[in-house]
Amino acid sequence: MGWGGPRPNDVELKRLILSETHKSGFFIHPGSTKMYQDLKRDFLWPNMKTEIAEFVSRCM
In the chain, the number of structural domains is 1
What's the mean pLDDT in 4-20?
A: 80
Least Cα distance to 49 among 23, 24, 14, 16 occurs for 14
Q: What are phi and psi of 6, to 5 degrees?
A: -60, 145
pLDDT tens readout for residues 25-55:
665 667 889 889 989 988 999 999 999 999 8
pLDDT at 1: 43
How many of the other CB atoms lie within 10 Å of CB of 19? 12
What's the mean pLDDT in 3-17?
A: 77
Task: Tell me if 41 sits within 8 A of 2, measured CB to CB.
Answer: yes
Q: What is the span of the domain harbouring residue 14?
A: 2-59
Rounded Cα–Cα distance for residues 13 and 21 (Å): 12
